[in-house]
Amino acid sequence: MTPAHPRQIILDTETTGFYHSAAENPDRLIEFAGLEMVNRQLTENTLHLYIHPQRDIPAEAAAIHGITLDQLEGKPVFAQVAQQIFDFLKGAELIIHNAKFDIGFLNAEFARVGLPPIDSVCSVIDTLEMARNKYPGQKNNLDALCNRLGVDRSRRVLHGALIDCELLGGVYLAMTRNQFSLTDVLEDEAETAAPAAQTTAAPAPVFRADSLIVLHADADEAAAHEAYLDGLGSECVYRQPENE
């Protein structure tokens, strides 16, 4: 099944805190990341920016994402990258975990430079709401969903917009896996299998090649394979001319 919207942006932000609407010294955006998907396939079109917040970064916030004000020295302020972010997102379907938070910060930042709210030019999918509907009564933060859905989060030590986008992409695709051609066929057959007494075989599924991920052996794996074949001796069938 093709997604309703062909162009999607997996989006995440990091900020100085929680209160973008504070009357004095409001919290600001310090990192933006967006990964583009077209027809559920990641493209090479990404946008990842660090942004100087023009204010301090509280220690409790830095402890979460690991970003300090010193690291942002010389980075652009939001007004310098606002149009770039807006144009990148405009017209796409945004996939965000706890969208209310990120949309609130983006809209506050866009308002400061005279741009319209981003949710007025984009549709939004909130994967937190999706997860709460799918797994009621369970933990549905990003770490819990990665564990539940088998998404590798070993590289996530601190919160970061780019790594969180990559993990969220895996979570979103796993939660909507009925849109995968390969996984959909395998799981639907298991869930709707006929009783054992039925003798009529189901037609063989047809897999789309473009939905399969091919992992090629690296140099070390290829060398280990060759060493294993060497151990089988000169009569190894895989070393016969017709199999080369």
Q: Please tell me whether 226 is known to bind a ligand.
A: no
Pairing of strands 93-96, 7-15: parallel
Write down how long the chain is: 244
Q: Is 109 marked as a binding-site residue?
A: no
Instruction: Collapse the DSSP code of 35 into the 3-class scheme (helix H, G, I; strand E, B; otherwise coil) and give the result.
Output: strand
One-letter identity of residue 114: G
Which are the contacts of 179, defined by CB distance < 8 A and separation ≥ 6?
Answer: 1, 2, 3, 40, 173
Question: Residue 135 and residue 141: Cα distance in Å, rounded?
Answer: 11
**Residue 29 corresponds to which tokens in the numbers above?**
């955006």
Per the annotation, does 70 bind a ligand?
A: no
CA dist., res. 179 & res. 40, Å (int): 8
Does the annotation list 143 as a binding residue? no
How close are the terminal C-alpha atoms of the chain, in Å? 39
Fill in the amino acid letter for 237. V
Active-site position among 5, 48, 159, 225: 159
**Residue 184 assigned as binding residue:** no
Verify whether residue 48 is a known catalytic residue. Answer: no
Known binding-site residues equal 12, 14, 60, 65, 164
Known binding-site residues for substrate equal 12, 14, 60, 65, 164
Known binding-site residues for a divalent metal cation equal 12, 14, 164
User: What residues are labeled active site?
Assistant: 159
